[in-house]
Amino acid sequence: MSTQVPESVEEESATETASAGKQKRDAKKRERAERVQEQREAEAAEKARSADDTFHLKVFRYDPEVPEKQEPRFDDFHVPYKQGMTVLDALMWARDHYDSSLTFRHSCRQAICGSDALFVNGSQRLGCKTQLSDLSEPVRIEPLPHADVVKDLVVDMEHFYDQMESVEPYFQTNSLPDGELDEQRQTRENREKVKMSTRCIWCSACMSSCNIAAGDNEYLGPAAINKAYRFAMDEREGEDMKQRRLEILEQEHGVWRCQTQFSCTEVCPKDIPLTEHIQELKREAIKNNLKFW
Amino acid sequence: MKFDQPYDTPKHTMYEHDVIVVGAGGAGLRAAIAAHEEGADVAIVSKLHPVRSHTGAAEGGINAALREGDSWEDHAYDTMKGSDYLADAPAAETLCKDSPKETIKLEHWGMAFSRDDDGRVSQRPFGGLSFPRTTYAGAETGHQLLHTMYEQLVKRGIKVYDEWHVTRLAVSDEEKPEDRNCHGIVAYDVQTGQVEGFRARNGVILATGGLGQVYDHTTNAVANTGDGVAMAYRAGAPMEDMEFIQFHPTTLPSTGVLITEGVRGEGGILYNENGERFMFEYGYANNLGELASRDVVSRAELTEVNEGRGIEDEYVHLDMRHLGEERIIDRLENIIHLSEDFEGVNPLDAPMPVKPGQHYAMGGIETDENGETCISGLYAAGECACASVHGGNRLGGNALPELIVFGKRAGHHAAGKDMEEAKITTGKEGEYELGEVDSPVELGEAGIGEDAVADGGTAADAGATVSGADLVQRAVEDERETIDTLLEREDGIQQAEIRERVQKSMTRNVNVFREESALKDALRDIREARELYQDVFVADKSRTFNTDLLQTLETRNILDIAEAITLGALARNEFRGAHWRKEYQERRDEEWLKHTLLSWNDGRPELWYKPVILEGEDKTYEPKVRSY
C-alpha cells in the first residue's frame, strides 16, 4: 500500500464484539447524518424566511406511481431570490432544499442542450434562459402542452424525435471531392442562409406551441421542417437532392399544413424564423413546379 | 455460482451487442460510427439523449493543420509545449496527424463551418498556437459538430438506449487488472427504473465526458459527474494525471457559462479594475498577452484579484467592443446571447465580467493511443480518457479533435480492426514506481467490508469458469440490490447536501492556486462526505424518472474523483501546467517527468507513477522553459 493511514483511526475496544462495535458505529454515523440533514432543512427554511425577496412558484406535479401524485396537482414553493436567478435555478433550489422528488430535465444550464423547455406562465420557454425577474408571481410552471407527461415536468419526447428523424435529417450529396483532405466549397452567403436553421437545439417548444401539430399527429412540425430546410438550402447537397427534399416536405402532412400562425417563431429560444423557413419551402415547392394537391 | 441461461424473463431482458458505447457526445458518437463502419453491431447507452450532450456547448473550434504554412509537426510541438511536457508524444502526434482528415470528414458530413471568401473552412488564432489553425463554426462549433455527428448516427440506424444511466462495468475479478476482461455493463433505465444488463461481445467504450460537477463553479453541465472515470477506476483501470484540471480564464461569474477563447483569438482584451491591460503591463505574458495558454491567463486574473486590482474583488473585464459589431456578429454572435442571457451584459456596449472556472479534466482513464485500457475489452475516448494528449494543460481547440480522432480509433479497435501496436503502455505493464502521499485521513471507501452501498465495479468472487453473460448477470444483481437498499432506507442524509459540501471544498481548496494545508482540508472534507454517504437515502421512492436516485448514484462518483484530484495534487510537489503549488514554484523535470496513476486496490487508492514519453516519431520533445 502506498498511502499512509493516519494514526487517528479509531481502534475498537477489545471487549466489544466486532458486530456490536459496528452497530454502535453505524448508529452514531446515522445520527450524525440525520443531524446534518435536519440542519440543512432548517437552514433552508430560515433562508426562505429571512430573504428580502422570495419567488412564489406553483409547480405542476404528477407521478403515475405515487398515490398522492396520481391526480395531477400544483405544489407551492417559496424560493429565496438572488439577482440573475432563472426559472431553472429556482427549480433546482426547490428540489435541493425542499423536495428531492421534484423532477425536470436539465443539463447544460446555458440554452444549448435543449432539455428544459417548460410551460412558464402560459408560454413555452427554456427554464435556464428565463429570468424570474421578467415573470409575474406566482410563477406557474407546467410541462410542455401537447405531449404526454411522464412525471412532474418531464414529457415524453419520442413523438418529437420520430418527426425529426423522418425527414432524412442528414447531409446527402452525389458529388463529394475525392481526396480525404479536399473540402467542398460553400459561399459565405450560403452558409449565412442556413445558419439560423442549424441553431435548433431540439427543445420542442415550437412543436408544443403549434395548434396544427396538436390536431394532426402526423404533421412534421416546425422543427423537423426546419431541419429539412437546413439541408434543402445548403448548396453543397446539389439540385437533385433538393428535389428529393422538397418531395418529402410537400407530402400530405408537410409544409402545406402550416397556417402561418407564427406561434413556433414566437417561442423559439434560438430565434429561428421557423414560419419564414416553412413559407420559403412552400414557395420553392411551387417554383420547382412540383405537384401539390 | 452458475446462472441458468437465458437471462430474459417476463420482467427483465439482457441486451447484447458486439460493441457498447457509453455516452453519446462527440467521442461516443464518433466511436459508434467507426465501429459500425467496421461492421460491428454497435449500440450507444447514454443517460442523455445524444443531442443533449455537453459537446454541444463547446464554442471555439477544432485545431487541424489544414493550410499551407502549417504542419502536423508544428501542431504537435505546440501541443507538447502547451502540455508542459507531460503529454505522451505518441498520443499528441496521433492527434495532430489524424485531425486534418477527421476535420474534413466532418465537412463531408455537412457540418456548417464558417467560411472564408474562397469558400474554404475558416480558421482563427487560439491560445498557445503558432499558427491560426482553429477551425470553427461561429462560436458554436461544438453544437454544429454534435448535431452533424448525430445526423450520421441516424443515417446509419445505430441503436441508442437514451436516458439509460450506466452504473457499473461487468469486469472479471482476476487479481491483476491487466488480466481482467470487460464483458458488458449494467444500466438503469431512467424512464422505468428497470436495471438491466448489456453484454458486449467485443468491447465497451467509455465516452462519458467531463467531471466538472466536482466543483461548484464550472463550465460543465449538470450531467458531467465523471461517471465513466469512476466506474472504470472501481473496476481496476487506473486514473491518470487527475490533479491536472483546467480552469478556463473566461467564464461568467454568476453561472460559470463559458466565453470562448475565440473572443481573445479575434482580438478581445483583458482589463483589470484600473483599466490596465494586465497581461502585458504586469508581465504575465509579454509576447502573447491574452493569447497565452489558459493556465497562464487564469493565474494572471486571480493574481490581479488577489492583489486588489479585480473588479468587485472577484473578476476582470473582457472587452471586444473594438472589434466592431459586424465582425462580432459574423464570428462570435453566440457570445452576445450568452453574455446577455446569463450575465445581463450586452458585450457590444460594455466589457464582459469574467473569471476562471473549472473547464476541463486533462486526466482520466489511462489508455494507449488506440483508446484501450489495461483491462481487455475496455476502451475510453474523449474527455474521460487520458492517452495522454494534454498532459499538464490542454490547448484551446484540442478537445474537439481529440473526440473525433480517438473516438474513431477506439471504435475501430473495439470492433476488431487491426491497429498498429501502441507505443504507450497501460497498467503496470511497463516501467513504473510506487508513490507515497501523506494524507491526514484514511482514504478510499468508508465502511469498507461493511454493507457499503453503491459500490461500482468488479463483480466479486465470480470464479474462473463463469461466462461473460454470467458476469454481467451477477453485476446486474449486485446493482439491483444496491438500488433497492438506497430506495428502502427511510431516513438519513440526502445527496444534495453531500454533493454541495464536496463541490464547495474543491473550489475553495483545490483550485487554480494550491497549497498543502488547503489540500489536506479538502481530503478531510471528502472523508467526512464519504462517511455521510454511508447513510445516504433517496426520498423519492418512485421507479419512474427518479432523478433523486440518479443524482445519488452520481454523487458516489463525485466522491471518488474529488479524492483522486486532491491526492494527485498533494503528491505532486512541483508547478507544472495547470498544477500550481505554493510550496513548489518550479517545474522539477528531474523528478516529475512522470504521470500520476491511482489504482483502486480493495477499496483504497494506490498511488504509482510511470514515465512520460517525450520521444516522438522523428524527434524528442526536449522540455524547455514555457513562456508565452
- A3 pLDDT band, cuts 50/70/90, is very low
Tell me, what's the pLDDT at B452? 41
Q: Is residue A112 located within the same domain as residue A165?
A: no
Q: Are residues A148 and A250 in the same domain?
A: no
Asked if A4 lies within 8 A of B341 by C-beta distance, the reply is no
Q: Choose between A193 and B447: higher pLDDT.
A: A193
Q: Are A111 and A99 in contact (CB under 8 A)?
A: no
- Facing B338 at nearest CB: one of A32, A110, A195: A110
Question: What's the pLDDT score for residue B386?
Answer: 98
Report pLDDT for A14: 47
- From the list A115, A181, A184, which residue is nearest B52 (CB)? A115
| Domain spans of chain B, in order of start | 10-244+362-628, 248-356
Q: Are residues A63 and A144 in the same domain?
A: yes
Checking if the pLDDT of A7 tops 50, the result is no
Cβ distance B535 to A33 less than 8 Å, yes or no, reads yes
DSSP codes, B99-116: HHHHHHHHHHTT----B-
Structural domain contains residue A11? no
A2, A26, A131, A229, best to mutate vs chain B, most B CBs in 10 Å: A2
Answer whether B492 sits within 8 Å of A33, measured CB to CB: yes
The residue segments making up the domain with residue A225 are 158-173+187-287
A110 touches chain B (CB under 8 A): yes
pLDDT digits (tens, 9 = 90+) for B443-456: 999 875 444 443 44
Q: What is the pLDDT of residues A56-66, one digit of tens each?
A: 999 999 999 99
pLDDT tier, A289 (very low <50, low <70, confident <90, very high otherwise): low
- Confirm whether A43 is domain-assigned: no
Q: How many CB atoms lie within 10 A of CB A27?
A: 10
Q: Kindly give the parts of chain B with pLDDT less than 70.
A: 1-6, 448-465
Distance from C-alpha of B233 to C-alpha of B246, rounded to nearest angstrom: 21
The closest CB to that of B222, out of A37, A106, A195, belongs to A106
A-chain residue closest to B140, CA distance:
A199
> Which of A100, A152, A163 has the most B C-beta neighbours within 10 Å, making it the best mutation to test the interface with B?
A100
Q: Say yes or no to pLDDT of A13 above 80.
A: no
Task: Give the span between the Cα atoms of B379 and B563, in whole angstroms.
Answer: 23
Ordered alpha helix ranges (H), B415-494: 468-488
Contact B402, B389 (CB under 8 A): yes
Residue with cell 466538472: B212
What is the rounded CA–CA span in Å between residue B302 and residue B104? 38
Per-residue pLDDT tens digits for B549-559: 999 999 999 99
> What is the pLDDT, as a whole number, of residue B448?
59
For residues A142 and A71, membership in a common domain is answered with: yes
A223 lies in the same domain as A112: no
A15-24 tens-digit pLDDT? 456 677 778 8
Interface size A-B, in CB pairs within 8 Å, comes to 213
Is A194 inside any structural domain?
yes
A211: number of Cβ within 10 Å: 11
C-alpha B593, offset from chain centre: 22
Does a structural domain hold residue A37? no
What pLDDT, on a 0 to 100 scale, did the predictor assign at position B457? Answer: 43
**Per-residue confidence at A207, pLDDT binned at 50, 70, 90?**
very high
Among chain A residues, the shortest Cα distance to B253 is held by A84
Is the domain of A136 the same as that of A166? no
Domain holding A255: CATH number? 1.10.1060.10
Give residues 245 to 274 of A whose Cβ lies within 8 Å of B: none
> In this structure, is residue A18 part of a structural domain?
no
A89-141 pLDDT, tens digit per residue, is 999 999 999 999 999 999 999 999 999 999 999 999 999 999 999 999 999 99
Q: How far apart are CA B510 and CA B498, in angstroms?
A: 17
Is A44 among the domain residues? no
pLDDT score of A18: 61
Report whether B226 contacts B358 (CB < 8 A): no
Q: Same domain, yes or no, for A163 and A255? A: yes
Q: CATH fold of B10-244+362-628, please?
A: FAD/NAD(P)-binding domain (3.50.50)
The nearest CA of chain A is from the CA of B18 a distance in Å of 25
Is the same domain home to A74 and A104? yes
Contact A2 B437 (CB under 8 A): yes
- Residue B616 CA to residue B611 CA, distance in Å, equals 14
Mean pLDDT over residues A129-156, rounded? 97
Query: Is residue A176 within 8 angstroms of chain B, CB to CB?
Result: yes
Architecture of the domain made up of B248-356: Alpha-Beta Complex (3.90)
Query: Do A62 and A148 have their domain in common?
Result: yes
Residue ranges in B272-378 assigned as alpha helix (H): 278-281, 294-306, 325-343
CB contact under 8 A, A181 and B108: no
Contact A221, A210 (CB under 8 A): yes
Q: Are residues A282 and A227 in the same domain?
A: yes
B309 is annotated as an active-site residue: no
- The backbone torsions φ and ψ at residue B588, rounded to the nearest 5 degrees and listed phi first, read -115, 85
Average of per-residue pLDDT values in chain A: 90
Question: In the prediction, which pLDDT does B365 show?
Answer: 98
Domain contains A48: no
- From the candidates B180, B264, B294, B556, which is the catalytic residue? B294
Q: Which of A64, A107, A181 is facing B100, going by the closest CB pair?
A: A181
CATH number of the domain to which A127 belongs: 3.10.20.30
State the pLDDT at residue B279.
Answer: 97
Cβ(B510)–Cβ(B566) under 8 Å?
Answer: yes
What pLDDT score was predicted for residue A110? 95
- Asked if residue A235 is part of any domain, the answer here is yes
Contact B221 A113 (CB under 8 A): yes
Q: Do A169 and A146 fall within a single domain?
A: no
* Per-residue pLDDT at A292 exceeds 60: no
* Pick from B119, B151, B539: CB nearest A170: B151
Q: Which residues of A touch B51 (CB under 8 A)?
A: 113-114, 201-202
Chain A positions touching B254 (Cβ under 8 A) are 84
- Residue A138, preceding bond cis, omega within 30 degrees? yes
Query: Could you tell me if A108 and A164 lie in one domain?
Result: no
Phi-psi region of B305 (alpha: psi -120 to 50; beta: other; left: phi over 0): alpha
Residues of B in contact with A36 (CB under 8 A): 493, 497, 532
Report the domain count for chain A. 2
Q: Are strands B364-366 and B385-386 parallel, antiparallel or unpaired?
A: parallel
3-state secondary structure of B305: helix
